[in-house]
Every structure is written in C-alpha cells, then in structure tokens.
Amino acid sequence: MGQYVAPLRDMQFVMHELLHVEDELKQLPKHAEIDADIINQILEEGGKFTSQVLFPINHSGDREGCHHDKEHNTVTTPKGFKEAYKQYVEAGWPALSCVPEFGGQGLPLVMNNSFYEMMNSANQAWTMYPGLSHGAYECLLEHGTPEQKSVYLPKLVSGEWTGTMCLTESHCGTDLGMLRSKAEPQSDGSYLITGSKIFISAGEHDMADNILHLVLARLPDAPQGSKGISLFLVPKFLPNADGTLGARNPITCGAIEEKMGIHGNSTCQMNLDGAQGWIIGGPHKGLNAMFVFMNAARLGVGMQGLGLTEVAYQNALVYAKDRIQMRSLSGIKAPDKAADPIIVHPDVRRMLLTAKAYAEGGRAFCTYVALQIDKELNHPDEVVRKHAADEVALLTPIVKAFITDNAWIATSECMQVYGGHGYISEWGMEQYVRDARINMIYEGTNTIQSLDLLGRKVLMDNGVKLKKFGAKVQAFIEQNGTDEALSEFITPLADLGDKVTKLTMEIGMKSFQNQDEAGAAAVPYLRLVGHLVYAYFFAQMAKIALEKQDSGDTFYVSKLATVRFYFARLLPETAMLIRQARAGSATLMALDADLF
C-alpha cells in the first residue's frame, strides 16, 4: 500500500545547513566525535529499516489489529509485528541514544529523534511499543534506585523488555489527583498495588519477554489530590536474582479498547490485583518522576504527528502526479492524455504545499528541540544547560500540540487530494487521518498543552522563557533586516513577534483579574506562538535557499517555494488567532450551563 521513502535530503539540510548539528555537538564532550558522516550513515540505515521492514506491515496491521485471549489474558499483535521487533532489537536500534553504562550506544538524542520520525511515518502503531519503552528508560535513569537501574535498564536498553506508563483511570483522565489505585507497603520494601487503569498503550503484547509498567497509585497515608501520588515499577514477570524471569505478577489485560485508529497497538484496560511493585522517586513524589516520562512522550507524540504528515504528503504527491482529471484552467498541460494530472490544479497544489510546509517546518522545529535537550543534558557550561532547559520547557507543549494539530490538517488535505479514493481503505490514506486524530488527544490533550504553555510556561514566570526565545528571533531579525531579498520573510516575522509580545501582556493583565481569560485565550495563543516559531525557522531556511538557489541543486528552489507558500498562505492564520485570543471569556462563559 503506497510508499514511504525517508526524507534524507531534508533531514540532512536541517542537520547540517540549518542547525549545524556537528558544530553544536563538538561543544558537548560526550558527543564531540560525532560528525556529519556518522549522522548521515545512521539516517540512511534508519531509512532502510523503516521503509523495508516497518512500512510494509502498517496497512495490514491496521486492518488486522490486536487480538485478546480473555481466558489466558494474553494479546497477540498483528502479523509481522513481532518479527519486525526482533529485527529492531537485533540491529541495536533501541540502544541508539541510551547511555553506555547500561548497554547503550551513547549517540545524541537529535539522531534518535530523526529515526523516530521515520518510524512514525512508516508505522505509528508499531513504533509506540519501543517509544514507550524509551520513556520508561528515561524515567528510571533519572529517578530509579541503583538496584532498579542495574536490574531493569539493561533490559530496556537492549529492547529485550518493553515499558508502559499506567496513569489513567476510568473516572479521571488528566485530573490525576482523583486516581484511586492503592499501594500497600510490605515488610520486604515492596508494595502490593490494586486498581484498574485504562488506555494503556502497549499494556500487553507478544513482542517482548517482559513488560515493565510504571504505575501511579496512592499510599495509605497519602494526602488528597496530586500531592498524594506515588510512582511504582510493576513488572509483568518478577525477575529472579540472576535476571531470569520468575513468577507472573497479577497485572493483567482485562480488555483491548476498540479504537478509531492505531489498531496495531494494543491499548489495554489493565487490572492490578495485589501486583508487586517498587516505589520510584520516593513517597508522594510520583508526578515529579512520571513527568520525565510524560514530557518524553509529549515530544514523541509531536514526532508522531510529523511522521504522519510526511508520509501522507509523499503518497498524495505521487497520486496527484499520476491521477488525470479535467484540464488545467490555464490551458492543456498533457495533450497526449485524456485529461491533465490533478497536480496542475491550484487547489490541489494548495493541499500538497500545506502538508509539505507543515512537514518541513515541523522537522526543523523538532530537530532543534532535540538538540536543545542534548545541550541541556550534556553541555559543560551550567548557564547553557539552564538556558536549553528553559527553551525545552517552553517549546514542549508547542511540539505536542501545534505539530499534531497541523498533522490533522495535513493528513485531511492529503486524503482530499485522492478524492473518493481517499475515503476507501485500500488506498491507505484514511488510516493516516484516523491515526493522526489520537495524537491531539493523548499525553495531555492539546487544550491541556495550551494551558500549560500560557499558564505555566509564560504567565507564571512573567514571560521570562518566552522573552529568551524572542531574543533569538530578534537577533536574527536585526542581523538580516537590511537584506532586501529577505524582507518578504523578515518583515512578517518581526511584525508577528511584536504582536505576540503585546498580546501576551494583554492576556496577562486580563487573567490577573479573571483566570478564565487565560483559559479562553490559551488554544489560539499556542497556535499563534507555534506560527512564530515556524516563521523563525522558515526565515532561516529562506536565507540558505536564497544563497544557493542558483547552485543547480533544485532542492533549494523547492525549499524557497515552500517557504514563500508558508508566509503567503499559512502564516496569515495568525490574524484570526489574535482576534480569537483577544475576544476574551465573556462570550464563552455568559450562557448558563442549563441553557446549552
């Protein structure tokens, strides 16, 4: 079904020409030996694995789904999933960016990030299994005890065991302070955990020997609300002292959720009936530890949106060049055919360019954020680490929400390119739309991300983090503002930066009087700042493309055309977003709930 070819040329452009990743990594002692050749080699091998192993089982995996054996509480993944995972493990992919201390290859996250884009393009449902495992690895690496790390991290790093995060319960979603799962302390230092969790991606499957569940629950003396939550490591099989698998722990799959999309991933209802677990991060500090996992997952979901945008674009482009329908309004373009290819039609081009722009903007943005994480974790200068951490905190909700919103737009447009065939499952396009829709919901809905950005990341620190990022934008504007060739990009970028600053101050003042004002403005505000970020990166890409457009490499001609489309057709959305954000809460809150 369809095709997927890793966009290596654009990845290399972002890595080497836009962000100068090799030079940045030389500032990090841990990664100073990484050069462009190593980066390109990893990307090329990743492209082969994803296109040749993962993509061919994406459509079939969606059609088949996972199967739950209720009698034995087991789950079977679609045909080919288990075999693909074995190849993934044997090739060493799970260890790519993990620390050598526990068997990892120690490569920078920025490279792992690009590999995950490829995997998500090729097969999002499959990629969720190792993706969640990597989140569990990061959580244990930061908050696990030495014993927990020595027992569990080598297995996660190798891919022999996988991981999940068990947060949600049927009566509470995002409001985790309401959860009811209980943990009873035992004399040996472990805990017996009882409760039920829902929406647990990869909660039960046949791809790995063991599954490590990170479970939120309450101790008997826990205070009410989110301050009373603890985090526990609950393995499916209890490991013996020698590392072999021991007794089966009573944490089981009660059912698989029937979902709109990502059918190849087992989204489970998990029941804990006195399952043995060990605390991570200390009593009542579960959310602090789990946020490592949750933030990694939010960045990962952004990559899911980017991956789907890219693969949908690739297939819609092939279709648009091949499908003939009607004649061009400006005259016949294919006289040897009964009709012209639909790519000659202006609105088909609008749809394709929308997806192309959102893919290329998202790729630059995600790669930049991954590079900042590498600097946050490894730069020798504490000031640089702090600055990078602030940027990651500010940009994470935008990665999650803006990119997945755009993926929903882009996949829908790409399905539209196919006309009636887009709605038919055999062409594969409608799967991308279905899969894209979940990404706006899980790991904190995009409204939650918007509230996080405006409330916590901007207003709570009086805009300090936003001003730091804004200073980078302003520096670029000042350095290039006199370049006439760049004025078509610099002028709107500068204008938007000023408007974001003024709007932020306005919302802050209104929210000081009435906090509903922040709630009313949050969603358009996040999209507005998302466009500011994209405009900043697109303006930088335009500068490079302008300098090289006459080089004979048509890549730069295409890049410049995409940038111009973005500024002309997509960035104007910001005018509407500003009006929405300024509209306030009155029209939303005036109507009594009983009158709806």
Which residues participate in catalysis according to the annotation? 443
Q: Which of 6, 8, 11, 4 is nearest to 370 (CA)?
A: 11
Q: HEC profile for 134-187?
A: HHHHHHHHHHCCHHHHHHHHHHHHHCCEEEEEECCECCECCCHHHCCCEEEECC
Cβ atoms of 157 and 102 within 8 Å: the answer is: yes
Q: How far apart are CA 79 and CA 101, in angstroms?
A: 35
Structure tokens at 265: 């991933």
Return the number of other C-beta atoms located less than 10 Å from residue 307's C-beta: 30
One-letter amino acid at 428 equals G
Q: 58: buried, middle or exposed (CB in 10 Å: 19+, 13-18, 0-12)?
A: buried
What is the chain's length?
Answer: 596
- In the numeric block, the tokens 């489970």 are attached to 268
CA distances from 538 to 373, 563, 564 (A): 21, 6, 9
Element (H, E) at 280: strand 267-280
DSSP for 188-238?
Answer: TS-EEEEEEEEEEETSS-SSSSEEEEEEEEB-TTPPSSGGG-EEEEEESEE
Cβ atoms of 373 and 138 within 8 Å: the answer is: no
> Residues 11-42, buried b or exposed e (16+ Cβ, 10 A)?
bbbbbebbbebbebbeebebbeebeeeebeeb
Partners of 573 in the β-ladder: none
Partners of 182 in the β-ladder: 194, 218
Q: How far apart are the first and last CA of the chain?
A: 45
Q: Where are the alpha helices (DSSP H) in 285-345?
A: 286-322
Chain-centre distance for alpha carbon 375: 19
Return the number of other C-beta atoms located less than 10 Å from residue 479's C-beta: 12
- In the numeric block, the tokens 């934008």 are attached to 473
Cβ atoms of 400 and 299 within 8 Å: the answer is: yes
**DSSP 8-state symbol, 74:** E
DSSP for 246-257?
Answer: EEEPSEEEEEE-
Q: Where are the alpha helices (DSSP H) in 514-593?
A: 516-548, 554-565, 573-582, 586-589
161-166 and 210-217: which strand pairing? parallel
Chain-centre distance for alpha carbon 112: 13
Which of left, alpha, beta for 111 (phi over 0: left; psi -120 to 50: alpha)? alpha
Angle (deg, nearest 10), helices 429-438 and 382-417 = 140
